[in-house]
Amino acid sequence: MQNGFFRAVACSPQVHIADVGSNVDEMLSMMSDVESLAPDLVVFPEMSLTAYTCGDLFHNSTLLEAAESGLRRLVNDMPASLPLCFVGMPVKAGDTLYNCAVAISRGRILGIVPKTFIPDYNEFYERRWFAPWRDAGIVETELAGQCGVPMGSALLFETGGVKVGAEICEDLWVPVPPSCGLSMAGAEVVANLSASDDVVGKYGYLRSLVAQQSARCVCGYVYASAGYGESSTDLCFDGKTIICDNGHTLEAGRRFERGNKFVAADIDVEALRRDRMHLTTYADCAASHAAQPKTVKATGTTGQRKELLRAVDPMPFVPADKDHLAERCEEIIHIQMSGLCRRIEATRCRSLVIGISGGLDSTLALLVAVRAFDSLGLDRKGITGITMSGFGTTDRTRGNAHTLMQELGISIREIPIAAAVSQHFADIGHDPAVHDVTYENSQARERTQILMDVANQTGGMVLGTGDLSELALGWATYNGDHMSMYGVNAGVPKTLVRHLVEYFARESASEREREALLDIIGTPISPELIPADEHGNITQKTEDLVGPYELHDFFLYYTLRYGFSPRRIFMLAEKAFEGRFGHDVIKKWLTTFFRRFFAQQFKRSCLPDGPKVGSVTLSPRGDWRMPSDASSAMWLRECESL
């Protein structure tokens, strides 16, 4: 394991039925091919030494002796840099034959894991040749000339500080697979040696099954199945190779191809360990149901790796698949709408007051509010949208705000704040030519006061518009736009807000509304607290001041979701944003993120209520509880050392 990543390879070699020598040649060739990847684990299919479709030949001494001889050659000739490999073969123990996964390392057989559940319903009636493993303990046996080889279903193999378990094909399909107990006993990666034939619809179900098992066990799962060359007498074998990580498919190989093929991926063991620690019910379940395993340490070490064999999504909050994105957007909108509906019913108010700036956040809040009113059968006129033009308001944002409100059919009010804020400057003795934090925050607080007072007038409540990214950075005026009666966007990061508004635009039946929404999406993000330039364009751009929201949302996700260190987040960011942001840029804004994230906790400690929409949220009552005076020194020192 390097940098918290465990590299696994799932192999599906060309199969030669009952020709052990040729099968060994194929596997040694594949081992040589993958050696340059410096893997921690290599997995071959079920019965990879003999082929799975040998039938009654499995009870022939010639084949069994050849399998042991082939294993001996494989162990002696395999590359020394491969610390742990699993191969499949028949193993005779006493008077019984077992279908086994054999763990090997250069010069040594590490252990034997027999198949626990033997099917008798498929075309091969496997129980005709093999017995299921019934012994809960570990026995020692002789195999390929090596004495004292541990054998049992409760075996774990440790390499590079990571524990690996194994199960075989059908074991995964039962209600409680052996990998459940192995994972709770400490296995962080599970290998499945399979010979799964293909029928219509089976592959999709299997991929889902593998992904779900990796999620249920909070583990990496490496699935390697037999492919071309197995008997076609009655069936076809497509050579499935799948690597999953905690519910996510990292790699899935092409099927129905001749020759040797493999997939390789880096499993994030550090993330798995964090989730197991964080999910306290996982430890509770392990205490009740874990097996009592024997752990065997593998020999050998992997070479150095040049790059990460794993895609790192630069926008982890936004699904990459467009169809899935539309589904996700609709679900998020329903969560926001449902939370708001419940709050409206609980407070028995029939009025909402929203400050509409012509920016993304207030637009999303308004669109959700309209959905909520429609769902409750309330008149949209009960929503009062207020534009509050100040010193930095541009015609573009003001125009979009009014167009949107008109198209949505809500009540519209325009209350300029320049005169009131100028009077306030005079009252406190502030020079309006000094565009400092007082100049900016006075406008934000004046707007909030107006919203609160109008809510009192209408017997309603103020709907907050601030999003998750702003809360993380503290990019809100304390007791200004920071405050409301309900923060409907509190769980939505900025990178996702844009896609939600775009989704509304696509769904809109009004061309005028759609045009306004698309222009809002294209408008630079700004609080508009500093006067526009001589051409009426926005001069105060948020991302110029605090950094790109793409980066900050990336930092936020890996800080909250996995608790990663600055160094690891930086490494992932370099991979995710390669070609877009360089070393110095990422370092600069990562430092800014941690400095602001710690310093602005006091604003999050008194947040209004708001619905959680994803796995990452900053509610002080739920998912994030941190002292407002916690020191950021260690995190900033690590940032500086990058």
Q: Point out the residues that are catalytic.
A: 46, 115, 169
The tokens of 166 are what?
């194994």
The tokens of 634 are what?
């260690």
The tokens of 184 are what?
């709770």
The tokens of 604 are what?
């999050």
- Name the E strands within 57-170: 85-93, 96-105, 108-114, 139-143, 146-151, 155-159, 162-168
Distance CA 438, CA 489 (A): 26
Distance CA 544, CA 121 (A): 65
Give burial (CB, 10 Å; 0-12/13-18/19+) of 509. Answer: exposed
Give burial (CB, 10 Å; 0-12/13-18/19+) of 286. Answer: middle
Q: Residue type for 509, please?
A: A
Distance CA 165, CA 178 (A): 9
Q: Residue type for 538, please?
A: I
Distance CA 640, CA 642 (A): 6
Residue 441 neighbours by CB distance under 10 Å: 17
- How far is residue 167 CA from its own chain's centroid? 25
Question: In 3D, which of 33, 69, 29, 67 has the Cα closest to residue 49?
Answer: 67
List of residues 6+ apart from 159 with CB closer than 8 A: 40, 41, 83, 84, 297, 298
* Structural element, H or E, at residue 224: strand 220-225
The tokens of 591 are what?
């430092």
* Structural element, H or E, at residue 464: strand 461-464
By three-state DSSP, how is residue 96 classified? strand
Q: Residue type for 118, please?
A: I
Distance CA 102, CA 71 (A): 9
- Name the E strands within 226-368: 241-245, 248-252, 261-268, 294-297, 352-355
Report the b/e string of 307-317 with b at 16+ CB within 10 A.
ebbbebebbbb
Distance CA 408, CA 380 (A): 8
CA-angle at 617, arms to 440 and 340, nearest 5°: 80
